[in-house]
Structure 1
Amino acid sequence: MPQPPLRVFLALGLGAAGLVATLVLALVASRVASDRLEQRIETELSDLAYHMAGQLDRSMFERWRDMLILAQDDTIRDPGADLARKRRVLRRAQDTYPDYAIIGLVGPAGRIEATSTGTLEGLDVGHRDYFVQGSRRPYVGDVHDALLLATLRPGRDPADPPRVLDIAAPVHAEDGTLAGVVLGHLDWAWARGMEASLREASHGRRGVAALVLSRDGRVLLGPEDLAGRTLAGHLPSVAQVQAGRDSTAAERWPDGHTYLTGYRATRGHRDYPGLGWAVLVRQDASEAFAPVAELRRQILLWGLVVATVAAGAGWFAAGLLARPLRRLAVAAAALGRGEPMQVPATAVREAHAIGHALGAAARMLRQEAAERQAADARRQLLIHELNHRVKNTLATVQSMARQTARNAASLEGFTHSFEARLLAMSQTHNVLTANHWESAGLRGILAAELEPYAGGRRDRITLDGPAVALSPHVAVPLGMAVHELATNAAKYGALSAEDGRVVVAWEVRDDALHLRWRESDGPAVAPPARRGFGTRLIHASIERELGGRVGLDFAPGGLLCTLAVPLAAREAA
C-alpha cells in the first residue's frame, strides 16, 4: 500500500490546527466583545436614567425658584396693595410660566386673597399642607389629584381630575412679619416634556420607556398600563433606588416580559431638596441585546470564513515545507549512492529571519495600538469637556435671556441689552480660548471690556494690579459683572461724561481676589430707588455663582464697587 506524501500529513495537521485555533479564538472574541457591548448598553440605559433624573431636578428647581422670586415682588409683599394689582402680578406670573394650573396668594389667616384666574378667592386653605408648611419655609408637595380645580374646568370629567404639584413660599412684609404664602399648582402634564427629551437622548433606540415613581413606588409618569400602579415590592430596581443605589438590572416586570432597566433617584438641585422620586428607564431585553446577538453571529460567521482560509493556507504552507525536505531527501539519497549532493542552504536562517520579522511586526503593532488607545482617550476627554462647557454656556445664555426679557421694556431694549451681554461673554471666551481654556488673565478681561470706552485717552481708564490667572469658572461670571459695571458707567456714571474717569485696582490676599472699581469726575450719583437687573446680575454672578461678596457705595462723587472673589471658587452645578 503506497504511503501518502509528507505534504498530505502537513496539510491535514496544519489545516486542522488552524481550524480549531480560529474557532476557539472566534468564540473567545465573541464572548469578550459581547460582554463589553452588554456593559455599554447597560451603561447607556443608566446614563439615560441619570439624564432624566437630573432634568427633573433642574426643572423642579426652576419652578421652585419661580415661587421664591414671586414671594419677593414688592406688590405681593405689601399688605396694603390693591387686590387688583396683586391679581395682575399673579396673572402675569402665570402668563410667564404657563405650566402652572393656577397661582395664588394666601393671606396670613389661611384664606386665599387673590389668584391668577380670579377663582377660589376667599376659600379657607389654612389646614392645607402647602399653607402650614409654606408659611415657615419654601415647600414642595408630591403629585396629587386636584379635585377642586377639576370643578373649575367645564367639560372636564370629575373622575379624571388634573394632577398637580404644590409649590409654595412664605411672603414677608418689610417689617419681617408674615404677609402670606404664594402658591403655584404645577400641572403634572409639564412632565411629559421630560419624556420627549428622553426620546431625543435615546438616539432612536427602539422600545425605550421612561417611568417616574413617587417615594412610595407609585407610578407618576410612564406607560398607560402602569399609570397609578405601585411597583414597590415587585421590582428589585425599585428597592435598589429606595436604598439609594443607582445602576442597571435585567428583571421581569408585572406584564411577564424581561426588561433591561436603568434606575436612579432624584436628589434635588442646589437649595431645592427634591421629592425622592425614582426614575426608571427600561427596554425589552431582547431588543436591548439584539446588537449583542448580531455581533456574535457575525463573529462566528467570520470565524468560519477565516478557519476555511486557514485550512487552504495550511495546504499551501505544507507545500513550502515539503519542498526543502524533498531536496534534503534527494541529497541524502545521493549521499547514500556516493554521488555528489547539493544540500539546501539557509533553511534555518530563513526561519530565523521570518521569526525576527514577525517579532518586529508584533512590536510595531503593539506600539500602534497603544498610540491609538491614547488618541481615543484624548478624543473622549475633549468630547466630554466640550459637552460640559457647551451645557454650562447654554444654561448661562438661557438664564441671561430670560432675566433680560423680564426686565426689558421693549423688544428693541431687550435686543440691545441681550446682544451687549452676549458680546461681553464672548469677549471673556476669546481671552479663555487664547489660553486654551486653562486660564484667563484678569487684566485681559478688564481691557477687553473697558477699552471701547477709553476713546483713545489713556487717563480715562486706569488698570492697576498684579497679574492674576483666573479659571474659566471664575472668569466668565466676573467678566459679566465687569460688563454690567461698564455699561452702567457709560449710561449714567463717569463714562457718560467727557472728563469722567474709572480706576480699577485689585490685589490678591487670603486666596481671594479683591477688586475695587471707582468712578470720578462724572455726574452726581444718587442711590437708586430700586435694585435693577444689572445690579442683581452682579450680585448673582459674584455671590451666588462664585461665593464672593459685593459692596456698592453710591457716593455723590462717583460709584465705588468692591468685589471679593475666592480664587478657588467651585463650579456651579
Structure 2
Amino acid sequence: MRQKLVAVALAALAPVVAMLAYNEYALREQRSQEIHDSASQAARQAASEVERIIEGVHALLVSVTAMPSVLDLDVPECKRALRSVADRVDNIRAIFVVDLDGNAICSSLDPASGTRFADRAYFQQAVATKDFVVGTYTSSRISGAAVLPLAMPLLEAGSVRAVVVSGIRLDWLQSRLTERGVSPGNAVTIADGKGAILARVPLPERFVGTVIPDEYRALIHATRPGVTTVKSQDGTERILAYRPIALPSSPLYVSAGFSREEAFGSLNRATLMNALAICGGALAAFVMAILIGDRFILRPIGRISGVMDRWREGDATARTGMRTGDALANVGATLDRLLDELEDRRRRSEEAEEERRLLVGELAHRVKNGFSLVQAIASQTFGRADPARYKSFSQRLAALASTYDLILSRETSSSSVADVVSAALRAHIDPDEDRIHVEGPPVMLEADVALPLSLVIHELATNATKYGSLGSQHGRVEVQWKCDGRNVILDWTERGGPRVSAPTRRGFGSVLIERAFPSKARAETRLDYRPEGIAFQLIFLPEPSAPSGEV
C-alpha cells in the first residue's frame, strides 16, 4: 500500500515535472539559437575587420603602383618612396618591387644579396592573373618574420612590367585579434586558403602556424557560411560559426567558436537547482504521503484486514468497532454489519443443518424399509417358484440399495466413482484374492448418474462371475476410468477367463447396460467380445448440468 501511495504522489508530481522538463527543453532550444546567432555575428565581425585590413593594404599597393618613381622604376627614388610609405604603416613590414625574373628592384628594406621571389606562389599568381593577390602564411625573405603576403601587378599597356609586394605582419594581426578579446572558453581563428592558422585567440603560441585538422578542412572552402558543433584542438566543445574563403570579398577563412560549457553554464546551474528543488519536493511529497497515508489510510485498512483475518481464523466476535465517518470508516462499519449478518446466518444454517440431518436419517430408514419390503414381496411372489431369477433380482436390488446407502451415508446428493464401483463390487471381491483392480482419479457423480453406474457395474460383475474371468481361478478384472474434457471414460477389461464368444441373444443385463443412464448423461457404450475376455467401455457425463469444461 505504501508503494501505491508513493505512486499517487508520483502521479501528482508528474505534470509538474513534465512542465518543468518542457520549459527546460524550450530554454535550451532558445539558448542554443542565441549562441548560434552570437557565434555567426562574431564570425561576421571578425571577417569584416579582416576584409578592411586587406582592403587597406590593397589600396596602399594601388597607390604605390601609381607613384612616378615606381612607374619609372627609378631605383634610388623608388627606395626612398617605399621607405617613406612603409614607415607610416604599422601593419606591414616591407614594400618591394620585383621584376618578372623574381629579383627585387627596389625595397623599403635592403634584401640579402641574391634574394629572389620567382618561386613564390603569390608572385606567380599575380603575374598570371594580372590582379591583386592575397597569399598564404609565409616567412618573409626580407624581414624573416611571419607575414601574409599581398601582391599587386604593375601594368603597362596591359602587360605586367613588375609586381609590387608587401605583407601584413602576423604579430600585428594577432595583437589586433587579442585586443578585441573573447569570453572565457570562446575562440576566434583566422586561416589562409591552405588551412594554415594566421592568428588565433586564445593560445596563439600553440596554434599560429599550424594547419587546421583534416576533418574541419572542408569548412575553409564551403560554399556558404554556417554553424556547427566541433571538438576543438584544445579539447573544448564549441558551437562554431565559420566564414569560408569562397565568399565574395572573403580572402581568408574566419571562424568564431563559443564554448558549450560556458554558454550553457548558467542554464546548467539553473537546471541543477531546479532538479534539486524537484527532488526535494518529491522527497517531501513522498514523506508526507507515507505519514498521512499511514495515519488515515494504512492504519484503518490494517484494522479492517486484521478483523478479517481473525474472523477467518474462527473468531466470530472480531469487529472493527469503527463508526461512520470518512470512506474507510464507512467500510469498517459496513464490515461489522456484514459480519453480524453472517454470524446470524451461520446460526440459522447450523439449526437448518441439524434439522436436515434428522430428515436424512429418517429418509435412510424409510428407504431401507422400502427395499426390505420389496425384497420380501419378491421372495413371497416367485422366490420358491424360480430361485435363480429371484437370486438375480435380489442381487440387483442389493446393488441398488448399497448405492443408496453410500449416498445417504454421505448425507449428500453425490458420490465418487471409486465409492460407487467399490460398493457395486463388494459382493464379488474376495479379501484373500487380488483379482479385481480398480483405479481412476477422484470424480464426483450426481445421484441420477451414480445409481445407474452401480447397476451397470453389478451386471458386469455378475456376468464375469457366471461366464467370464471371475468364474475362473486365474481370471482378473481391471476397472479403470479417466476424465476427457467433461466426459468420464470407464473401461471394464477381463483377462484370464474362459474363451469368450458373442452371445446369440440379448439378455436383461445387456439391455440394462444400454438403457440405465438418463438421457442428459449422454452415455455411450462399446462392448467387445475378445477371446481372452470382454472389454467394455462406458462414456458419460458425471454432472450433466455442469458448465462446459467442469467435471
TM over 0.5: no
Q: TM-score range by the shorter chain?
A: 0.3 to 0.5
Greater relative contact order, per chain length (Cα 8 Å cut-off, separation 6+):
1
Q: TM-score, normalised by structure 2?
A: 0.44
Q: TM-score, normalised by structure 1?
A: 0.42
Flag the structure with larger Rg: 2
